[in-house]
């Protein structure tokens, strides 16, 4: 039994680690979903599908100011309200995409770690089942050995008793033969 050893890692430790990883994964997935929503919103706004502040809503008081705003390649940022270059917004959206990809990569890594821990947990449980089965079989063999040794001891005792009995019978036969020989001689 000493050679079997015990699995070094406790299933409780693995369950705790799995719980932590799943929690972190859920947080990252929430962040990814939020980033995706933000990216989608910004893409829609850049494509003109979203509601953007119209020049008349921007405080332009004269037609000249309106025209200047329309001819300007700036877009009013829908998050902060300032005028920004469309390229700057696209750059920010690309940064959001990169951040989203990074988070997705982290989620993939966590999924890989979770799968490895689940596999390790299954292996530990299987090793424990195997160990229990082997220990049970060893106990059965110990019992069989003990029973066999007791039977051998009983047979040795019986053999000694029977050997003694045979020796007595042989002695009796020798005496009877001697008596019979003596009787035959007397008769002759």
- Comparison of pLDDT for 52 and 174, the residue scoring more: 174
pLDDT tens by residue, 77-135: 666 777 778 788 888 889 999 999 999 999 999 999 999 999 999 999 999 999 999 99
Which range (17-21, 91-95, 145-149, 179-183) has the least confidence?
Answer: 179-183
- Chain position carrying tokens 């449980």: 125
pLDDT band per the 50, 70, 90 thresholds, residue 49 = low
Q: How far is CA 183 from the centre of its chain?
A: 94
3-state secondary structure of 75: strand
Vertex 30: Cα angle to 27 and 33 (nearest 5)? 150
pLDDT tens by residue, 139-149: 999 999 999 99
pLDDT over 70 at 68, yes or no: no
Beta-carbon neighbour count of residue 35 at 10 Å?
19
pLDDT over 50 at 169, yes or no: yes
Tokens of 13: 């430790």
pLDDT over 60 at 1, yes or no: no
pLDDT band per the 50, 70, 90 thresholds, residue 50 = low
pLDDT of residue 56: 40
């Amino acid at each position: 039994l000493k050679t079997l050893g015990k699995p070094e890692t406790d299933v409780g430790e693995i369950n705790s680690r799995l719980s932590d990883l799943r929690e972190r994964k859920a947080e990252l997935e929430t962040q990814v979903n939020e980033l995706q929503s933000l990216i989608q919103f910004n893409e829609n706004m850049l494509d003109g599908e979203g509601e953007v502040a119209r020049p008349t809503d921007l405080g332009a008081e004269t037609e000249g100011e309106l025209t200047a705003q329309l001819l300007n390649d700036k877009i009013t940022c829908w998050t902060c309200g300032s005028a920004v270059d469309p390229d700057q917004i696209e750059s920010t959206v690309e940064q959001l995409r990169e951040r989203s990809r990074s988070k997705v990569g982290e989620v993939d890594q966590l999924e890989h770690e979770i799968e490895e821990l689940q596999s390790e947990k299954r292996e530990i449980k299987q090793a424990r089942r195997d160990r229990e089965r082997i220990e049970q079989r060893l106990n059965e063999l110990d019992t069989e050995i003990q029973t066999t040794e007791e039977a051998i001891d009983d047979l040795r005792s019986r053999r000694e008793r029977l050997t003694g009995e045979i020796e007595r019978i042989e002695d009796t036969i020798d005496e009877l033969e001697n008596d019979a020989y003596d009787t035959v001689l007397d008769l002759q």
